[in-house]
Amino acid sequence: LKKPLGPPPPSYTCFHCRKPGCYIKNCPTKGDKNFESVPRIKKSTGIPRSFMVEVNDPNTKGAMLTNSGKYAIPIINAEAYARGKKEKPPFLPEEPSSSSSSPGDPIPDELLCLICKDLLTDAAVIPCCGNSYCDECIRTALLESEAHTCPLCHQTEISPDALIANKFLRQV
């Protein structure tokens, strides 16, 4: 069991009322609904002064107390607060860029996997017939077949380690 704590040391200040003489657990203002807690100000220890910008108002978002007793915020934060947050609404379709193809353009057959019929991801060439598949699709197909058979030319005993990365299709 914890021993009851005596009065706090003279250097201790309560984190609720910001006054010495009480712990936060036993603070007389703890249950008072009219009491507004003073916001806790962080100290700027560890941040070089050259990275800080002085502010006059301690209520400025992100304000910290410096060793000299003045308030400052990091330069990066000041720039970010000035720009504000820009968010895209989650349910609007993405704006098509000028370089991308329109949704009506079909994907060339060379870029489609022969197993999953989707766009090639991490294209790999199988050495027996030279066809390209998604790396994951062809490895799974080889491992699931009993004799490690190629899905197109049906050659057996093809090791997944023999697959070759198709660097050209991966770039495309």
The tens-digit pLDDT sequence of the chain (172 residues) is: 566 567 888 888 887 787 888 888 888 888 888 877 766 778 888 888 888 888 888 778 888 888 888 888 888 877 777 777 777 777 666 655 555 555 556 778 788 888 888 888 888 898 888 888 888 888 888 888 888 888 888 888 888 888 888 888 888 8
Residue 134 CB neighbours (<10 A): 21
Q: How many residues does the chain have?
A: 172
Model pTM?
0.39
Q: Is residue 158 within 8 Å of residue 128, measured between CB atoms?
A: yes
